[in-house]
Structure 1
Amino acid sequence: MPNTNFLCIDDQQDKTIDDLLSLLSRSNPSLIVVRNTPVDLAVQIKKISAASKADNFGLLLDLRLDQEATEDHPRVPYRGPTLAQELRTRMAEKKISPFPIVLWSITEKFVKSFDETSQDLFDAVFGKDDQIIDKPGLVAAQMISLVDGYRQIANSKKGKLIGTMLGFKQDDDVGLHESFIEEFRYFVESKAVHEIATYLINNLILPSGLLIDEKLLAARLGIDIDQSGESWTQLLNKMVTSKYSGPFHAGWQRWWWFNVEVWWSGLAAKQPNLRRIGATERVKLLNGKFKLNLKAAAPIEEKYSDKFFCVCVATGKALDPADGFRVAEMNVRAWQDTGYVSAFAALNRIEKNRWRISTVDRDRFDRLKKN
């Protein structure tokens, strides 16, 4: 497997940055990261443009490039988003080849300094003091996947093949939401590679809907992943036809939900609808079909239903939407799922900074609190 080459631009002078980069490289030796200190903007762009001509290239930027300086490296008057914006403009103008731009920062600085209007400039954002330290292997895999995904998009864009770009064997869009097809075709036909990448990540891969992640997949099948052990892995191997194989699939494992439903329906002649049966029955059917030892997930509260179909945004546990409240979300597309917080988490204000109950369910929640 060829190496993936990232250039890191960071103004921090102590060895902390080198230690973090070593952590990433040790977790995945095919990821090579070279660190540079920021320089004058015009010079910096020339250096990055030259480096980007190498195969499998990506850029890792610090949010604040304007804080530290030495005699050899004066403080620069720009930040990461400013540099990223200029590079994206040049990509759109085809002055430089497209490549992923990843942002990393100390979480506290990110909260204080990051302007959400700059979000589309970056393909991923990682915290130096949490994600890099806690899950370096996953971060390294996602960085490599971003570079691979850019190449996959660039190759598919030439033929403007919607289905093929998303990993289907033929250029087929059966099962995809019409609104998604319309928007995605517009991006493929008229937008630059980095804009297509941003669209896929923010509107298809990260939000649940057409695609779902492993935790939601397990919840909808009624399964406790940790207690099921190897049986869960064996079940996933039987669902390979439902797995997403389009851009960025190696870093963000996802499954096409409409294909999972087709797979479930085909397990037996009179297979019951998933939504109508609880976790215990779902798991019993799967164990009987495949001779596995899957364990059913338990409700968050004993009195809750086990007809799970979502995951509580606060606890991360399987939830029947009837036992939760819709959360307020911005710019939700027609093909994306509504998020829910369980009544238990809402009443106990668990992870309160991560959710806010939608006005649609606010009155119902207020009545629950009174009771």
Structure 2
Amino acid sequence: MSQQRTHVVVIGGGYAGTLAANRLRRRPDLEITLVNPRPDFVERIRLHQLAAGTGTATAGYDSLLGTGIGLLVDTATRIDTGTRTIHTAAGAELTYDYLVYAVGSTAAPGSAVPGAAEFACSVAELEQAQRLRAALAGTAANAPVTVVGAGLTGLETAAELAEQGRTVRLICGGVLGPALSAPGRRAVAARLRRLGVEVLDTAVVGEVRREAVVLGDGTVLPSAVTVWTAGFGVPDLARASGLTTDELGRLRTDETLTSVDDDRVIATGDAAAPSGQPLRMSCQAAIPLGAQAADTVLSRLAGDIAAPIDQAFVGSAISLGRRGAVIQVARRDDTPVKAFLAGRVAATVKEAICKSTLWQIRREAHKPGAALWLKGGRKAGTAAATAPR
């Protein structure tokens, strides 16, 4: 009589979830199922290119997942930890022995700002970037476009659109590029000036209308298309399932990425809050976190003590159109230093970094356990910087 295989379900097929699923194949006796709402992998770091019409942002799972991993295209709607069952939008019920929670992040639509959720576009998810691309296609090339938010996503979106000849206004609401050093920030500002982007440093948006934005002081600015990049949120699955989360909805875990409620639930990527001190939302953090989440599951199955997470950052890579970029160097704890790289060389480095993310996932699929990452920045009991993406 054959023994039933241990079933590990990974919810979310982004950078962290896909890497984790591949790494779990270090144990060939596992049954691994990846649940994802789309049939294709989404390169989140290229969605601004998709919106601007300068690139694509999807890749086939057939080239990313290792042999034997099952892919269920569906959306998880509830986790019942009592019965270890996942309920989906299509009515499926999956039982699991271990669950890797890797649902990623999504846009924070600025619901406190009137009209933002209704009239502003986003680039946080594939469908939102496609909607933005369609909105841009329906407007004249010189029609004003407003990008709200000057984190890394806002900077990349504003520059990408401006390089394509769009008339772009960037509303910062505070500091331009808060994750950057002062010299790096000046380099970004110089590139935006060359691209013709109008930067409103201190302005804040009080209302979004169909064809305008209203600033906090009452000034009305025409805006044929408004792009909201001011902040990110996470899906509400953990909270809706009765699991403990932080204020944003990230699953609260210990330093081994294990849920504080259930040792069969392991979180990773943007939706994990280890010790209530989440790492910065980025693929730079997600890929090592995916590897470490898989290692926690494998350690538990082997009867070993799971290791606490230990990883470091190297900086931030910001594309500023196809011909420019800024590579901001940082300490291992993700705090920026004065050093940076800018210009066409930086653009080449940024593109290489983007390509390397898929290369790492494919390498793990080919050779489970191959993933390596820089350590020494985040160790047990320490917090990493959480500058907005």
The TM tier, using the shorter chain, reads: under 0.3
TM norm structure 2: 0.22
Q: Which has the higher contact order (CA 8 A, sep 6+)?
A: 2
Q: Which has the higher strand share?
A: 2
Higher radius of gyration, 1 or 2: 1
Q: Which has the higher helix share?
A: 1
